[in-house]
Amino acid sequence: MNYLLTNKYKQKGRIMFKYLKQLTSLVAMVAVLFTFTTETMAAKKSKTLKNTQKKGFVRCGVSQGLPGFSNADAAGNWTGVDVDVCRAVAAAVLGDANKVKFTPLSAKERFTALTSGEIDILSRNTTWTLSRDADIGLTFVGVNFYDGQGFMVRKDSGITSTSQFKDGISACTNIGTTTELNMRDFFNSKGISYTPVAFEKADEVVAAYDAGRCDTYTTDKSGLAAQRTKMTNPDDHMVLPETISKEPLGPVVRQGDSVWEDIVRWSLNTMIEAEEYGVTSANADMMKTSENPQIKRLVGAEGEMGAAFGLDNEWNLRIIKQVGNYGESYKRNIADTGILPDRGPNELWTKGGILYVPPSR
């Protein structure tokens, strides 16, 4: 009885194994077919560009609300310098800067949303670092804001410099950002013991710090300046002068689609270069007759600057006309809103800043 049973199972197992072998070869065949078709498609044209043109809008990941960078008003209209990068790409690729679908993302979700294909551009005050660029399937295309991490404290605490920090200080911050790592490096190098209180969303960080849970709030200085406006009494708080890290913030795309990567990179570069040559949304059309060939290339009046991306010749003119140059975007979103009136390092290299982009030619 027992013997018979085992034999039956053995037989069953053998049949299964045979089927399994056939199955594996089938799966392998399908796999080969699959990679083959996708590769030929990608070689012809950018898959992301094709999908974007088919859908009719650019899928852009932004923050959950950071005034000056990406922030939605009551009517759901997004504004900010990060938002403008996506609008520029939409103007270049689709001809209309408003054809953008914004997806608000937390710091934790952002990279997964991009690598999984939920969005095609991540323009969410994201710091460009080696490990992010090389390790997790992302490509940073440029820098649209040079930032650094700082600290905010209550004015009445009497603290005016990070050198006055003492053992036992508690610091509120966001999880999943370079902030957590910089904070540790900073306090360790000063030999100060501290309590990190890390929240998932920025709004909760602000609420907890505002209530008095922490002695200091640390994130990028632009973020501090923007979040300060959300406090109960913004004037009770101040940002300390020290900057403890380099935070070059910029748009990110998925690795593996170099044409799309170039489109996003040069959309940003066009905005910065337009400011350098004095081309604005108001005078862009008139600049077509300019004497300067560099300016003429910027407004699509000379050369075939869009052909390499599979775009028409006026892609850059549309960016400047519909979104404006970098200076206009900065003034509209960051300076005029009182967040950071002083451009600091985010000024053109010709005016003492470090904004310097390769030429469009």
Binding another protein (rule: CB under 8 A), the pick from 53, 95, 180, 313 is: 180
Binding another protein (rule: CB under 8 A), the pick from 74, 75, 212, 291 is: 212
- In the complex, the smallest distance separating the C-beta of residue 95 from another protein, rounded to whole angstroms, is 29
Closer to another protein at the Cβ: 103 or 255? 255
User: Closest Cα to residue 76, out of 58, 62, 92?
Assistant: 62
Closer to another protein at the Cβ: 172 or 295? 172
For position 195 contacting another protein by CB under 8 A, the verdict is: yes
C-alpha 346/C-alpha 82 separation (Å) is 14
For position 158 contacting another protein by CB under 8 A, the verdict is: yes
Q: What is the 3-state secondary structure (H, E, C) of 203-271?
A: HHHHHHHHHCCCCEEEEEHHHHHHHHCCCCCHHHEEECCCCCCCEEECCEEECCCHHHHHHHHHHHHHH
For position 241 contacting another protein by CB under 8 A, the verdict is: no
Q: Dig out the tokens for 214 from the structure.
A: 């922490």
For position 282 contacting another protein by CB under 8 A, the verdict is: no
Give, as ranges, the residues between 41 and 100 that touch another protein (CB under 8 A).
none
Which alpha helices (DSSP H) does the chain contain, by range?
A: 2-44, 47-55, 81-94, 110-115, 130-135, 178-190, 202-211, 221-228, 258-276, 293-298, 315-322, 326-330
Angle at 347 between CA 313 and CA 255, to 5 degrees: 55
- In the complex, the smallest distance separating the C-beta of residue 4 from another protein, rounded to whole angstroms, is 15
For position 23 contacting another protein by CB under 8 A, the verdict is: yes
Closer to another protein at the Cβ: 156 or 342? 156
Closer to another protein at the Cβ: 211 or 354? 211
For position 246 contacting another protein by CB under 8 A, the verdict is: no
C-alpha 297/C-alpha 55 separation (Å) is 29
Instruction: Please classify residue 34 by burial: count the beta carbons closer than 10 Å to its beta carbon, then call 0-12 exposed, 13-18 middle and 19+ buried.
Output: exposed
Give Dmax (Cα) for the chain: 99
Number of residues that bind another protein (CB under 8 A): 62
Contact yes or no for 252/138 (Cβ under 8 A)? yes
C-alpha 31/C-alpha 23 separation (Å) is 12
C-alpha 326/C-alpha 276 separation (Å) is 9
C-alpha 324/C-alpha 306 separation (Å) is 18
**Residue 206: how many other CB atoms lie within 10 Å:** 20
x/- map, 32-51, another protein, by CB under 8 A: --xx--x-------------
For position 141 contacting another protein by CB under 8 A, the verdict is: no
Q: Dig out the tokens for 200 from the structure.
A: 């998932």
For position 294 contacting another protein by CB under 8 A, the verdict is: no
Strand-pair partners of 173:
198
Closer to another protein at the Cβ: 15 or 308? 15
Q: Give backbone dihedrals phi and psi of 10, rounded to 5 degrees, phi first.
A: -60, -45
Give, as ranges, the residues between 335 and 354 that touch another protein (CB under 8 A).
none
For position 132 contacting another protein by CB under 8 A, the verdict is: yes
For position 151 contacting another protein by CB under 8 A, the verdict is: no
- In the complex, the smallest distance separating the C-beta of residue 68 from another protein, rounded to whole angstroms, is 23
C-alpha 181/C-alpha 331 separation (Å) is 31
- In the complex, the smallest distance separating the C-beta of residue 62 from another protein, rounded to whole angstroms, is 17
Closer to another protein at the Cβ: 168 or 241? 168
Closer to another protein at the Cβ: 140 or 165? 165
Closer to another protein at the Cβ: 168 or 338? 168
For position 168 contacting another protein by CB under 8 A, the verdict is: yes
Q: Dig out the tokens for 72 from the structure.
A: 């939605």
For position 19 contacting another protein by CB under 8 A, the verdict is: yes
Closer to another protein at the Cβ: 27 or 354? 27
Residues at the site binding another protein, with contacts judged by CB under 8 A: 12, 15, 19, 23, 27, 30-31, 34-35, 38, 107-108, 111-112, 115-117, 131-132, 135-137, 153-154, 156-159, 164-170, 172, 175-177, 180-181, 183-184, 188, 194-201, 204, 207-208, 211-213, 215, 254-256
